[in-house]
Structure 1
């Protein structure tokens, strides 16, 4: 009986770790597309119904904004070719419940090698046809490092 319980626990751990790796790879694909200004790559891991929101903290207070997916994709595709930006993900905290997952990713954002802002991304994902898709993304943005 103990061996059976141990086997079940090991199989469960392997399955959860595999799921977490899939979710992390989905987020990494999103950022690979973002850094390459490749909207097709970003769209490949996002639901057509994705919701995008931001909370921006600044000297004049805090703003909460919605962004339409079409505007988001258009803004990425129109970045100047010489503009270099990098969103450095500092860690991944992934939680899963069935077909839903949450990835919490603190980050630092750099433009042309210079610190711009930091915050946290909160990705909500849905497993659709055995593929994890980003259905919701909200981030915080603050200038202080």
Structure 2
């Protein structure tokens, strides 16, 4: 009986880790597309009903903003080729309940190799027949 219980707990643990790895891979694919300015790759990880929001923190005050997916994709496609940028994800904290996942990812952002800002991304994902899709992304930004 004890062996059966241990086996069941082990299987649940392995299954949970596999799902977390799938969520993390979706976010990594999103950032591969982001860094390459590849809107098709980014779109492959996102829901058609994607919600994008940001909270900027500064000495002048805090600012909340929203961007439509279309605005986001156009802005990505029109970044000058000579501008290099990198969002370095520092950690992944992923929680899953059935077909919903949440990922908290602290980051640092660099433009042309120089530190620009830091913050945290909060992704909400939904599991579809094609895999995990990002439905909501909100981030903080501070110097």
Q: Which runs of 5+ in 2 are unaligned?
A: none
Question: Match of 1:5, SS?
Answer: helix
Question: Match of 1:43, SS?
Answer: helix
Distance of 1:55 and 1:91 partners within structure 2: 20
How far did 1:130 drift?
Answer: 5.2
Matching of residue 22 in structure 1 with residue 29 in structure 2: no
Structure 1 vs Structure 2 CA RMSD = 0.6
Question: Residue 140 of structure 1 corresponds to which residue in structure 2?
Answer: 140
Question: Residue 112 of structure 2 corresponds to which residue in structure 1?
Answer: 112
How far did 1:111 drift?
Answer: 0.0
Matching of residue 83 in structure 1 with residue 83 in structure 2: yes
Task: Give the structure-2-normalised TM-score.
Answer: 0.99
How far did 1:38 drift?
Answer: 0.3
How far did 1:129 drift?
Answer: 1.0
Distance of 1:120 and 1:3 partners within structure 2: 42
Question: Residue 8 of structure 1 corresponds to which residue in structure 2?
Answer: 8
Question: Match of 1:6, SS?
Answer: helix
What per-residue deviation string (whole Å, max 9, x for no partner) do you get for residues 31-55 of structure 1? 0000000000000000000000000
Number of matched residues? 143
| Consecutive aligned runs of 4 or more in structure 1 exceeding 4 Å deviation | none
How far did 1:137 drift?
Answer: 0.1
How far did 1:58 drift?
Answer: 1.1
Matching of residue 39 in structure 1 with residue 35 in structure 2: no
Task: Give the structure-1-normalised TM-score.
Answer: 0.98
Question: Match of 1:33, SS?
Answer: helix
